[in-house]
């Protein structure tokens, strides 16, 4: 069957992890995939997760199917995290949430659902964006387009170009945003800019779809949701894909959610009915464990507080590594201004390293960086930062 078929290329991010695993170098450093590592280079299980799992082990009474949209307690906790405990959207019942297998699962379910009702819509992605956004929405059958976002010269959001793009997107097209911690650039909109973007969305009638994979990795869980709050305040229809891979460290449990916000509770109920028919034919109903862990933590005041503390610990360590990288490169007299790395948010940074340097770092130093120069700062530790800074300095002198 496969004799005349060419092999598919490796995934640009997860394929790098495979190559990293097979690299025998003892000094190898993985700055590729967006996975948090602690100071010892390990991806730990959060203490609040272990505590929740202990509770579940003792109290879980059945492994029967969950409802198609998942556990209602999980959906309620996800909404509180997204909008705030007593948000109007929650009280009015105009948001519905389904537990999806990870952020990617939520994006794809949302894509499949939208395709049913907007078969001719284009999906607009930020330039640049996470490589898998293209795969997900293309495979859901959409034509893709790009709106302006990042300016490599200023290493910042080109907001006026972005506004120009957004104002020219027709009604009923779909516009994908990174709610915080833009992947790959690490540069986000300010609260005032979110307000403006939400107003354009309302005015133009396109459908916002917010990918929220890093809540808590920017400034904190509340500050990071300001884009969601601005869209909620407009009263228009929009979608949010949440992921709890990073902020709960639950990568391999595939735990995320798709939330659909509508102008009224009646419309939201219709949205949920179609969301369920979409899910039923893909994976029928979600895997329980990760969702149960998240809802156990969020609904328990002690565990909730512990989680916020652990999340802050991850955020602060990444910020410290940003500063250390900038200082390390400056101390080695590396040419070029890398100072913007310290101000970017989330796990990633567009380092400004060229494709040649990215290839050189991998071949000569076993340092893995995603093509385009995206660095995962969480892969840096006190033990490897000097090695990485030396390697970048040497690479740039070649």
- CA distances to 5, 50, 60, 254, 296 from 288, rounded to whole Å, are 37, 16, 11, 10, 12
Exactly one of 183, 242, 262, 306 binds ligand LMR (CB under 6 A); which one?
A: 183
List the one residue out of 122, 235, 135 whose CA is nearest residue 171: 122
Please give the distance of CA 142 from its chain centroid, rounded to a whole number. 21
What torsion do the CA atoms of 329, 334, 337, 338 make, to the nearest 10 degrees? Answer: -30
How many residues make contact with ligand LMR (CB under 6 A)?
A: 6
Cβ at position 43, least distance to ligand LMR in Å: 12
Annotated active-site residue in 124, 130, 194, 360 = 130
Judged by CB, which is closer to ligand LMR: 67, or 371? 371
Among 29, 30, 34, 291, binds ligand LMR (CB under 6 A): 34
Q: Which residue of 33, 207, 388, 392 would you call a contact of ligand LMR, by CB under 6 A? A: 33
Q: Which is nearer to ligand LMR, 129 or 296 (CB)?
A: 129
Nearest-CB residue to ligand LMR?
A: 34
Q: According to the binding rule CB under 6 A, does residue 13 interact with ligand LMR?
A: yes
Rounded distance between C-alpha atoms, residue 288 and residue 117, angstroms: 29
Distance CA 154, CA 97 (A): 38
Which one is catalytic: 37, 122, 246, 365? 246
Q: Give the DSSP letter string of 306-352.
A: HHHHHHHHHHHHHHHHHHHHHHHHHHTT-SS--THHHH--SSEEE--
Residue 105 CB, nearest distance to ligand LMR (Å)?
11
Name the strand (E) or helix (H) holding 156.
strand 156-157
What tokens does 237 get?
A: 């229809």
Spatial neighbors of 319 by CB under 8 A, at least 6 apart, are: none
Nearer to ligand LMR, 36 or 206 (CB): 36
| Closer by beta carbon to ligand LMR, 32 or else 201 | 32
Catalytic residue check, 246: yes
Could you tell me the smallest distance in angstroms from the CB atom of residue 205 to ligand LMR? 30
Q: Is position 17 an interface residue for ligand LMR (rule: CB under 6 A)?
A: no
C-alpha 286/C-alpha 69 separation (Å) is 7
Of 390, 389, 356, 387, nearest to 371 (Cα)?
A: 356
Does residue number 343 form part of the binding site for ligand LMR (CB under 6 A)?
no
**Position 349 contacts ligand LMR (CB under 6 A):** no
Q: Is 20 in the site for ligand LMR (CB under 6 A)?
A: no
In sequence order, the β-bridge partners of residue 208 are 175
Q: Would you count residue 250 as binding ligand LMR (CB under 6 A)? A: no
User: Among residues 132 and 151, whose Cβ is nearest to ligand LMR?
Assistant: 132
Catalytic status, residue 211: yes
* φ, ψ of residue 373 in degrees (nearest 5): 90, 15
Q: Does 179 bind ligand LMR (CB under 6 A)?
A: no
Question: In the complex, what is the shortest distance from the CB of residue 184 to ligand LMR, in angstroms, rounded to a whole number?
Answer: 7
User: Is there binding between residue 129 and ligand LMR (CB under 6 A)?
Assistant: no
Q: Is 389 in the site for ligand LMR (CB under 6 A)?
A: no
> Which residue carries 């097979």 as its tokens?
22
Would you give the DSSP letter of residue 70? -
Q: Which residue's CB is nearer to ligand LMR, number 232 or number 353?
A: 353
248 makes contact with ligand LMR (CB under 6 A) = no
106 scored as a contact of ligand LMR (CB under 6 A): no
What track of x and - describes contact with ligand LMR for positions 130 through 169 (by CB under 6 A)?
Answer: x-x-------------------------------------
Q: How would you class 371 by CB atoms within 10 Å of its CB: exposed for 0-12, middle for 13-18, buried for 19 or more? A: middle
* Helix intervals (H) in the chain: 14-22, 47-59, 72-83, 88-91, 102-117, 131-139, 159-167, 191-204, 226-234, 265-280, 289-299, 301-331, 340-343, 355-365, 385-397
> Shortest gap between Cβ of 188 and ligand LMR (angstroms)?
16
Does 198 engage in binding with ligand LMR (CB under 6 A)? no
Q: What is the SS3 assignment for 383?
A: coil
Per annotation, catalytic residue among 211, 237, 307, 365: 211
Compute the least distance from the CB of residue 13 to ligand LMR, in Å.
4
Q: Which residues are catalytic?
A: 130, 211, 246
Contact residues for ligand LMR, defined by CB under 6 A: 13, 33-34, 130, 132, 183
């Amino acid at each position: 069957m496969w004799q005349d078929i060419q092999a598919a290329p490796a995934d640009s991010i997860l394929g790098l992890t495979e190559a990293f695993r097979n690299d025998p170098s003892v000094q190898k450093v993985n700055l590729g995939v967006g996975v948090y590592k602690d100071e010892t280079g390990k991806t730990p299980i959060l203490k609040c997760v272990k505590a929740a799992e202990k509770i579940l082990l003792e109290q879980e009474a059945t492994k029967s199917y969950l409802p198609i949209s998942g556990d209602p307690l999980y959906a309620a906790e996800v909404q509180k995290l997204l909008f705030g405990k007593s948000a109007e959207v929650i009280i009015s019942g105009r948001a519905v949430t389904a537990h999806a297998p990870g952020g990617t699962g939520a994006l794809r379910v949302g894509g499949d659902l939208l395709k049913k009702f907007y078969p001719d819509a284009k999906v607009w992605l930020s330039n640049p964006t996470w490589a898998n956004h293209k795969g997900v929405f293309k495979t859901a059958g959409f034509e893709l387009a790009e709106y302006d976002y990042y300016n490599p010269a200023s290493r910042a959001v080109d907001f006026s170009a972005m506004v120009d793009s957004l104002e020219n997107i027709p009604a009923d097209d779909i516009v994908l945003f990174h709610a915080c911690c833009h992947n790959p650039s690490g540069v986000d909109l300010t609260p005032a800019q979110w307000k403006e973007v939400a107003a354009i969305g309302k005015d133009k009638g396109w459908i916002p779809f917010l990918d929220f994979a890093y809540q808590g990795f920017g400034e904190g869980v509340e500050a990071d949701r300001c884009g969601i709050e601005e869209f909620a305040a407009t009263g228009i229809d929009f979608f949010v894909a949440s992921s709890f891979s990073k902020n709960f460290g639950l990568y391999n449990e595939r735990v995320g959610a798709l939330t659909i916000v509508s102008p009224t509770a009646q419309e939201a109920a219709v949205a949920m009915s179609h969301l369920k028919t979409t899910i039923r034919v893909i994976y029928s109903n979600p895997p329980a464990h990760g969702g149960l862990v998240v809802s156990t933590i969020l609904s328990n005041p002690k565990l909730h507080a512990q989680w916020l503390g652990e999340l802050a610990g991850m955020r602060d360590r990444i910020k410290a590594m940003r500063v250390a990288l900038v200082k390390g490169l400056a101390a080695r007299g590396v040419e070029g201004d890398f100072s913007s790395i310290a101000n970017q948010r989330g796990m990633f940074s567009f380092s400004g390293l060229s494709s040649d340097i990215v290839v050189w770092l991998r071949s000569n130093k076993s340092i893995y960086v995603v093509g385009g120069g995206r660095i995962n700062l969480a892969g840096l530790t006190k033990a490897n930062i000097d090695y990485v800074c030396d390697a970048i300095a040497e690479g740039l002198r070649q």
